[in-house]
Structure 1
């Protein structure tokens, strides 16, 4: 039998796939990557990064409209939609080119085309240059996921959008319906609201951003409502009727009443579907609701075949995919003889989540309710932005930080934030959980002044009745 061409082939070049390839190359493995569309995958090209570019434009626009709050006079403010989209696409292009540079720098072979497994460690790739066969000692599936569509709300790119359509709009919707209030739905709702759309969010569960702590959900709903959004929880869209100039939506409210409302556009943000069809894995892996089942290192049930990222069980986050990529690459190198490596299994409870709406939301670990459900005696502390000097100076007094502790041991069980820059602050608590910190260590830590991070300290103190500035 011929010697495999590669030690590792990665199918998919998103933040899980390309990071796995880089780590494998660093460890001396002959590595290749197969990509059917654009290097960097959905995250860099159509997800995390370009959406943040759009949201940044909306944030600047928001500040310009409120310049008077900072003693500034501005006139003639208007948004140039084409320029906003162009900037976002430029950011994506820059990062796509950056991934191409990284592949070249690390000597990773790139095969552009549709990859299909012909065995656990063999692939057929169809691309612009024809068909080629690749063999490897190991293969990592990193094929990602796509937006889930509703059977009665098929995206047409004109009136009914997925996140992909929503990133390259030709016009700002006059009346926008967002179906689903997870991170993607709420981020687009926030962007278009700041850009002037009349936004309605419909969520079938009893609160928006339902994976977050209940206090955060309640605060965010109040804030978004104050900004002019209409929020409908415990509600469902039963039907959509598309017309040339808009969409008629039949919406069943929490009280059971059904209304028909008209919108210019609809964004469907009701979850994702793994890209696992048509890649030859049917008899090689076990599935869980369409996602590939793996062990904590990324192994499937078939020797030599691994999986990471959004085609595996959640949370479906880019940073989780990247971490899985490193873990899988190190486990593969270990199996190939590198005895110096000791990869650690992924602890899903220490993966932070971030939502880049206005105000921002971030969290890690257990919510207060989940901690109680798990049987913990809980101590929880909350500190408001209005009590922080830096927040007042920034004009960002909306929000709070909440920490949840095991009352018996002092273990930090979870942290939950809403407000300015909390997507940056959350990593402090994430590190704390990784290091298994306790309330005593956090209390004894010196936080710089004046910073937003002081609220993290005060929140810990508040859990034990020791807050200093409220």
Structure 2
């Protein structure tokens, strides 16, 4: 008999209140399964088991205050997670068979990423009986191998950059070094806490979560089989949220061990001395700045005419200047033809530029050439669901409904805009329409955040797009070099740029590049979405000293009345 002892809580917490208990005597659990939801002053989170075994007794009660060192439950035949992994097939409980379940629900959601889990919670808030099916990890790419872990790396990189120039601020530091294994451990802790919080919320809203691959047997009938459950789910509505996977170029050598996607690079514990990144889009550029900060020699090879091709030229110019200053090499209009292995484990990337072949040798290669929707995750034909004209996403209308009126699709699998916050909002729209509301998606004011250095954020119409459409527009820019807080922080690169319509007296689009850009964009998103009269915004009072004052100055500049810039 083994007791499960509480060894860790959220952050530095030493005690917490027991929320919903997820186990009972007789349950067969695996290492990593949730035991109970805990509530502390710092948030809600899921406490998981480090053992596999049969629960013989539960030693806690809901509402109880529990401390580190307290016993949670007793297990029979307990084995630790390391033993589970070593065995290859997980812990076995004799002849135990999966529990058969026949489930009737209002909405079945296939995929628990930022679209799926948000849709599940919203539908439950509206009174739906919801089943959420996830084949891998709750939180999807965003929480586990995308947005959140990457931003954890970005924080480490930015902090290391600041420490290296601390003498500029009167602070002298020495013997600075990168410990990538520790950075990865911190990243894993951040991810674990966030995923635990989502598990807690799903439990709170009584969303039934089933782990395993969803199989469409017939219209409105889904089966899921794993070692714990054999479920048949009949649902009135279905929301497809199967996400996307990293793409790889179909070139020789793309399957070599040294070639990674964003998923593998986030798990490395030793920093390579050199890295070639194939693709100069958002993912590629973020990793370029991260690993350059870590001391890695970074080369970017981009097929298009420029990096970050959706940004305006003046924004790209600042990033190219930053790349040059940091020693990041950028090759644009360059086509990668092959990746070859070299003695010593290095890779040779061959690419063509200006009709000439070039070669770059590096320890690792990161493939950052976009993501492909997981269209084969389920059998769409059984659901009578059509693809879009390009055949690269599920066809949906503004309500997120597919060609089957009882089936909705959201997020990357719909392939309209591949952003986590778009997937989440699509999930809300789909859930509300499933529950009889009339909700519609609009993509006129979708913000985008790029965590390079300096940060970039955009929303609405770019100047490039305004030119292409022949629209009458004006531009107002305010540089961060004229902002007091930016100067005091030593981060003066960049500007706030507004694209506006003088006829309609509203802001059509915005680009911010500089300190805190990804946070500053939120207010501008609201004004673009609601077509706020910029003359009214001129009388809004902004706190001093803040970088947000640069937004106000750019608004004043629309009518030529900026105070701190001529």
TM-superposed CA distance for 1:112, in Å, is: 0.4
Is 1:363–1:426's contact at 8 Å kept on the other side of the alignment? Answer: yes
TM-superposed CA distance for 1:131, in Å, is: 3.3
Closer, same or farther: CA 329–231 of 1 in aligned 2, 3 Å: same
Is 1:179–1:201's contact at 8 Å kept on the other side of the alignment? Answer: yes
Is 1:4–1:137's contact at 8 Å kept on the other side of the alignment? Answer: no
Q: Aligned equivalents of 1:116 and 1:127: distance in 2?
A: 12
TM-superposed CA distance for 1:297, in Å, is: 1.4
Q: In the alignment, what sits opposite 1:337?
A: none
Q: In the alignment, what sits opposite 1:321?
A: 423
Matches within 5 A, 1:139-158: 139-152=238-251, 156=255, 158=257
Report Cα offsets for 1:186-237 as digits up to 9, x if no partner.
1111100000011111111111111112211122111122111001111121
Q: In the alignment, what sits opposite 1:394?
A: 489
TM-superposed CA distance for 1:130, in Å, is: 5.0
Is 2:456–2:514's contact at 8 Å kept on the other side of the alignment? Answer: yes
Q: In the alignment, what sits opposite 2:158?
A: 59
Is 2:400–2:441's contact at 8 Å kept on the other side of the alignment? Answer: no
TM-score by length of 2: 0.79
Is 2:106–2:237's contact at 8 Å kept on the other side of the alignment? Answer: yes
Count of residues paired in the alignment: 460
Mark the runs of 5 or more structure 1 residues left unpaired by the alignment: 335-340
Report Cα offsets for 1:260-285 as digits up to 9, x if no partner.
22111110111111111041103522
The DSSP-based 3-state class of the residue aligned with 1:396 is: coil
Q: In the alignment, what sits opposite 2:535?
A: 440
Q: In the alignment, what sits opposite 2:6?
A: none
Q: Aligned equivalents of 1:141 and 1:96: distance in 2?
A: 20
Matches within 5 A, 1:16-31: 16-31=115-130
Q: Aligned equivalents of 2:213 and 2:491: distance in 1?
A: 47
Q: Aligned equivalents of 1:202 and 1:360: distance in 2?
A: 21
Structure 1 position 413 matched with structure 2 position 512:
no
Q: In the alignment, what sits opposite 2:448?
A: 353
Structure 1 position 169 matched with structure 2 position 268:
yes
Matches within 5 A, 1:221-236: 221-236=320-335
Structure 1 position 9 matched with structure 2 position 104:
no
Closer, same or farther: CA 385–152 of 1 in aligned 2, 3 Å: same
Structure 1 position 180 matched with structure 2 position 275:
no
The DSSP-based 3-state class of the residue aligned with 2:174 is: coil
TM-superposed CA distance for 1:438, in Å, is: 2.6
Report Cα offsets for 1:299-352 as digits up to 9, x if no partner.
001121110011012210110011011111111111xxxxxx442x11112110
Q: Aligned equivalents of 1:459 and 1:41: distance in 2?
A: 38
Q: In the alignment, what sits opposite 1:271?
A: 370
Closer, same or farther: CA 279–56 of 1 in aligned 2, 3 Å: same
TM-score by length of 1: 0.95
Q: Aligned equivalents of 1:272 and 1:224: distance in 2?
A: 25
Larger Rg, first or second structure (1 or 2): 2
TM-superposed CA distance for 1:154, in Å, is: 5.9
Is 1:113–1:128's contact at 8 Å kept on the other side of the alignment? Answer: no
The DSSP-based 3-state class of the residue aligned with 2:340 is: strand
Is 2:129–2:207's contact at 8 Å kept on the other side of the alignment? Answer: yes
Query: Considering only aligned residues, what root-mean-square deviation do their CA atoms show, in Å?
Result: 1.5
Q: Which of 461, 466, 470 is equivalent to 1:375?
A: 470
Q: Aligned equivalents of 1:155 and 1:354: distance in 2?
A: 29
Q: In the alignment, what sits opposite 1:338?
A: none
Matches within 5 A, 1:64-83: 64-83=163-182
Q: Which of 274, 278, 295 is equivalent to 2:397?
A: 295
Q: Which of 230, 243, 258 is equivalent to 2:357?
A: 258
Closer, same or farther: CA 154–258 of 1 in aligned 2, 3 Å: closer
Is 1:297–1:328's contact at 8 Å kept on the other side of the alignment? Answer: yes
Is 1:175–1:263's contact at 8 Å kept on the other side of the alignment? Answer: yes
Structure 1 position 135 matched with structure 2 position 234:
yes
Higher relative contact order (Cα pairs below 8 Å, separated by 6+ residues) = 1
Mark the runs of 5 or more structure 2 residues left unpaired by the alignment: 1-101
Closer, same or farther: CA 25–68 of 1 in aligned 2, 3 Å: same
Is 1:185–1:269's contact at 8 Å kept on the other side of the alignment? Answer: yes
Q: Aligned equivalents of 1:105 and 1:153: distance in 2?
A: 49
The DSSP-based 3-state class of the residue aligned with 1:133 is: strand
